[in-house]
């Protein structure tokens, strides 16, 4: 007997029953079932939290209560990697919301400086986003370089530890002539 195949409403790929999760959403009192992968569900929840955090940061920078929905679309474009100029749409192919937020925080002084010279909050928002858009790639490179340095430092530290341990083992062997333990 063939069982029905379902597609994940989030990633549009097939769902095997053991990785399925059914979401129950009621719109206007009607119950709607959405089938979604567990991993997709978790990813989507994480994205939501990251977007919320980004929006809070933007509100603080601009001292505003609400972000216009048209601006949400622009944030999503940056997230998805959409090329609005050439009308190319992609999905989750751009920069993570977390990284966009980090860039906003980093560029905060630059954004703040532009505010008195621009009229209208939507123009101010757009100009700030342009600053973020222009610097986000440099931020990525900077973070990668920092990460590589960190790994290099960890490697050096690990090597020192290994040298220290092997010296201790040699000393131990000489003095007590114990057999080496199995785990070495
Ligand atoms: Zn999925």
Structural domain that includes position 74: 6-176
Indicate whether 181 belongs to any domain.
no
Residues sharing a CB contact under 8 Å with residue 13, sequence separation 6 or more, in sequence order:
7, 37
Residues sharing a CB contact under 8 Å with residue 42, sequence separation 6 or more, in sequence order:
none
Cα-to-centroid distance, 148 and ligand 1 (Å): 32
Cα-to-centroid distance, 9 and ligand 1 (Å): 7
pLDDT of the residue at 3: 62
The average confidence (pLDDT) of the chain is 84
Indicate whether 183 belongs to any domain.
no
Cα-to-centroid distance, 54 and ligand 1 (Å): 24
Cα-to-centroid distance, 91 and ligand 1 (Å): 13
Cα-to-centroid distance, 21 and ligand 1 (Å): 10
Confidence of residue 51 (pLDDT cuts 50, 70, 90): very high
Indicate whether 149 belongs to any domain.
yes
pLDDT in tens, 10-41: 888 988 877 777 777 777 777 778 888 988 99
Overall domain count for the chain = 1
Cα-to-centroid distance, 150 and ligand 1 (Å): 34
- Cβ pair 36, 23 in contact under 8 A: yes
Indicate whether 26 belongs to any domain.
yes
Instruction: Look at residue 183 and tell me whether its pLDDT is greater than 60.
Output: no
Q: Model pTM?
A: 0.73
Indicate whether 184 belongs to any domain.
no
Indicate whether 18 belongs to any domain.
yes
Tell me how far apart the terminal alpha carbons of the chain are, to the nearest angstrom. 55
């Amino acid at each position: 007997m063939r069982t029905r195949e379902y597609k994940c409403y989030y990633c549009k790929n097939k769902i095997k029953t053991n990785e399925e999760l059914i979401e129950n959403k009621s719109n206007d009192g009607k119950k709607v079932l959405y089938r979604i992968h567990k991993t997709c569900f978790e990813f989507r929840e994480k994205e939501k939290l990251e977007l919320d955090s980004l929006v809070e940061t933007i509100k603080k920078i601009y001292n505003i209560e609400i972000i216009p929905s048209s601006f949400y679309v622009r944030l999503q474009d940056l997230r998805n990697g959409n090329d609005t100029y050439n009308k190319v749409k992609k999905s989750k192919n751009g920069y993570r919301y977390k990284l966009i937020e980090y860039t906003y925080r980093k560029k905060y002084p630059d954004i703040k400086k532009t505010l008195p010279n621009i009229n209208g909050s939507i123009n101010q928002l757009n100009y700030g986003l342009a600053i973020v858009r222009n610097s986000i790639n440099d931020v990525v490179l900077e973070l990668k370089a920092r990460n590589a340095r960190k790994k290099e430092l960890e490697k050096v530290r690990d090597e020192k530890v290994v040298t220290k341990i092997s010296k201790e083992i040699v000393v131990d062997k000489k003095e007590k002539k114990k057999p080496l333990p199995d785990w070495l």
